[in-house]
Amino acid sequence: MENWILRRIRRTGANTLGAWGVAFLAIGLAVLLSWRYWDNFLHGPFEIAPPELGTVQDISKAPRYFVRVKGTKIQDAGFVRLSVLTENGVETGRSVSEFFYALTVADKLLIVESPGVLGPADLVLQGVLKRIPADLDKRLFDFPDSHEIRRHFYPFYLVELAPVDFREAGSVAIFVLVLFVAVFLRFALPALRRLIDPASHPAAKRAASWGLLDIVGPDVERELRSPRVIIRGGWTLTDSFVVQKDSFAFDLFRFSDLLWAYKRVSVQRINFIPVWTSCCADLIGRGGSAFIKTDQAMVNAILEFATRRAPWAYFGYSEQVRTRILKDKEGFCREVDERKRNMTTC
């Protein structure tokens, strides 16, 4: 039967892959639900002839809606859409944001919304076919004989749009997908490796250097059941071990390998006013480290517990200790080992 350490590592690998699987399923479902857009993204703008245009009744269900339309005549619809400019809630001016035209296509008129002025020669237009919004519908057909007037118009309108603008959302989605795949390769592949070969995990290799995993594993499992353990921030401190065991991560190192421990306080400020404070107990070991975020009282309790379990380690933040660990960790480890031997022989 596989020992506790390998079972925990295999479980974190399975949980991680399961989460990525759900994420990929959600992405696949999103692509499937938006396939109409992606078809138009890849193949549009479609050349659409008057007979095909005349068969469209519900534009929201039409497979082709990013189109290029050719008319025979274009005329001003007689109204524009204005944008109101304000400053501190006070109107400072107005400007035309969209112009509206009527493009004759076969025997009907297609309303066109354009960001710029169109002339008589602008008979080939491209953009997105959309359902006529309520305000525009009221402007066009709020007349007693509206039913008769509607017969001369298509039941949708064209918002003039350049291909680069139509594809902007899709390009952003593709960029995000590429980043997602990169993150997947960074985190999911190691999870797959942990699932297949849990002994390759750094924590398993570290534990194997202490002795047989079949002996170390039961020792860790037994201490985790002790009433003296401290559990905070996904980490568990026992008499001999510091263990991380949440759904997606596992780590393990011994108090006997502790080198340095200190309290780290971060203060978030807005306009130089402190609004939020976080506290963390940083335990730096020979083969692993733990950064346990919790409240300040519990950080103090964790450091006091660590002091009793590893009195030979350095306690309290020191820039000198940090520099020594970064520049010569092996030398620092030998110094801590010497402190440990001196305390043991006393």
Kindly report, residue by residue over 218-250, the tens digit of the pLDDT: 888 888 888 788 888 889 999 999 999 888 889
| 127 belongs to a structural domain | yes
124 in the same domain as 242: no
Tell the residue number behind the tokens 């506790």, with chain if given: 4
Is the entire prediction scored with pTM above 0.85? no
220 in the same domain as 316: yes
216 in the same domain as 114: no
| Least confident among 135-144, 188-197, 203-212 | 135-144
| 80 belongs to a structural domain | yes
Kindly report, residue by residue over 72-118, the tens digit of the pLDDT: 899 988 777 777 777 777 767 777 778 888 899 888 888 888 888 88
| 267 belongs to a structural domain | yes
144 in the same domain as 219: no
207 in the same domain as 146: no
Residue 1, pLDDT above cutoff 60: no
Q: Give 195's contacts (C-beta < 8 A, 6+ positions apart).
A: 10, 13, 14, 17
Neighbour-count burial of 207, counting CB atoms closer than 10 A to its CB (0-12 exposed, 13-18 middle, 19+ buried): buried
324 in the same domain as 223: yes
Q: Domain tally for the chain?
A: 2
152 in the same domain as 209: no
| 10 belongs to a structural domain | no
Cβ atoms of residues 77 and 100 within 8 Å = yes
Residue 40, pLDDT above cutoff 90: yes
318 in the same domain as 254: yes
Q: Which long-range contacts (CB under 8 A, 24 or more apart) does 189-195 make?
A: 191/12, 191/13, 191/16, 191/17, 191/20, 192/13, 192/17, 193/13, 194/9, 194/10, 194/12, 194/13, 194/16, 195/10, 195/13, 195/14, 195/17
Q: Which domain holds residue 285?
A: 201-345
Give phi and psi for 262, each to the nearest 5: -160, 165
Residue 274, pLDDT above cutoff 70: no
Q: Give 21's contacts (C-beta < 8 A, 6+ positions apart).
A: none
| 210 belongs to a structural domain | yes
235 in the same domain as 139: no
